Amino acid sequence: MNQLKKLLIIGFVWPEPNSSAAGGRMMQLISIFKKNGFEITFASAAQDSDFMVDLSEFGVAKKNIELNSSSFDDFIIELNPDVVLFDRFMIEEQFGWRITENCPNAIRILDTEDLHSLRTARQKAFKENRTFEIHDLLSEEVAKREIASILRCDLSLIISQFEMKILKDVFKINENLLFYLPFLVEKTNEEDLLKLPSFEDRKNFVFIGNFLHEPNWNTVQYLKESIWPSLKKNFPEAVLEVYGAYPSQKVLQLHQPKNGFYIMGRAEDANEIVKKARIVLAPIRFGAGLKGKLLEAMQCGTPSVTTSIGSEAMHEDLSWNGFIEDNPEEFSKKAIALYQDENLWKEAQKNGIKIINKCYQISNYSDKLVSLVNSLLKDSENHRLHNFMGNLLQHHSFKSTMYMSKWIEAKNK
């Protein structure tokens, strides 16, 4: 009988699919590898949280690890994984050299989540009140670290076609090192819409997003200050419910029931909330990757109004399931029209189904990913031979990171 292949996932945090799209994506990856016969261990140096999933329910072993500690070396030598998946580049920086030293044959995969350097550069341009330019990335400190991490790995999972293009065209990354993997969902059809609450049975606008994520906090501020006054003036009975994990005091202070602006806090079940809402509002002004909240809206049959950044790389050449609008006045007008016009609303709903089925079909990607990982397992030597820049960075950063980590470990003692 064939021995199960071992996958070690090193998490930045423990997965919380009800708190963030990143948590949902991680559970999708776990599901794909589990179905394809991998024995999975999930390790993290993060504190346990009240909202993390119980990994044992998914047949995944859980391991608490420490940063800058040789106890991790003992753990991986004993586990001896075939594949190691790093959750974000910071984790590869921290643990990659230990994997290289102790399990040199293990395939190293980086799940970027989104390009942190793109998000950081856009945020910086936004705060400096100027338009983001692609060349902003070249001077970005985070970009140097993130690209080095991508080069050191055998494969990086990239969530957005826009980010694939940046990596190939701007940073000249060989496409053999990249795999496009968007959010993945099951196929849906128009009959599924009939099982969802109807136009008449839904009410209110909703926004949902984890407040530890800066773009979400900025979006809610923008909604309150620039969009809601105009929307409320032209549609006095409008109500907006803002949900999200980890709201700070700053967020809670925006709660203003008299003005129809409600801060609701963490959603017990985001899906149920979005299904009952008539429209999702997401005027996102900076960020990267794909917006899980907008795909979730499509799955719940809930049209959305967002910005060009919000919809970036999410719908190919298909019509959006609602409106894409960057001007705040126009944004509020479109939101009201979509809320009040049932025909427009139903058309938007159908557009969402077309987007789901063309862009996010799990069957289009899962087999390709597993097949690619299996081929890397068979021929990693040849694959690495053609990644000279990665080998170079592996060599130099291995030494510098190793000595820094050993120094911290000695200091901690």
Give pLDDT tens digits for 202-233.
999 999 999 999 999 999 999 999 999 999 99
Q: Are 407 and 169 in contact (CB under 8 A)?
A: no
pLDDT in tens, 384-393: 988 888 888 8
Task: Give the rounded distance of the alpha carbon of 389 from its chain centre.
Answer: 27
Q: Which domains does the chain have, with CATH numbers?
A: 5-184+362-412 (3.40.50.2000), 190-359 (3.40.50.2000)
pLDDT at 79: 98
Provide the whole-model pTM. Answer: 0.94
Give residue 407's pLDDT band: very low, low, confident or very high (50, 70, 90).
confident
Distance, CA of 79 to CA of 82 (rounded, Å):
9
Q: Is the pLDDT of residue 1 over 50?
A: no
Percent of the chain surpassing pLDDT 90: 87
pLDDT at 24: 94
Helix (H, G, I), strand (E, B) or coil at 305: strand
Burial of residue 125 (number of CB atoms within 10 Å: 0-12, 13-18, 19+) = middle
Distance, CA of 396 to CA of 381 (rounded, Å):
19
Q: Which residue matches tokens 């070396």?
A: 73
DSSP assignment of 134-157: GGGGGG-HHHHHHHHHHHHSSEEE
pLDDT in tens, 294-326: 999 999 999 999 999 999 999 999 999 999 999
Q: Is the pLDDT of residue 283 over 70?
A: yes
Give residue 2's pLDDT band: very low, low, confident or very high (50, 70, 90).
low
Exposure class string for 338-358: b at 16+ Cβ within 10 A, else e: bbeeeebbeebbebbbbbbbe
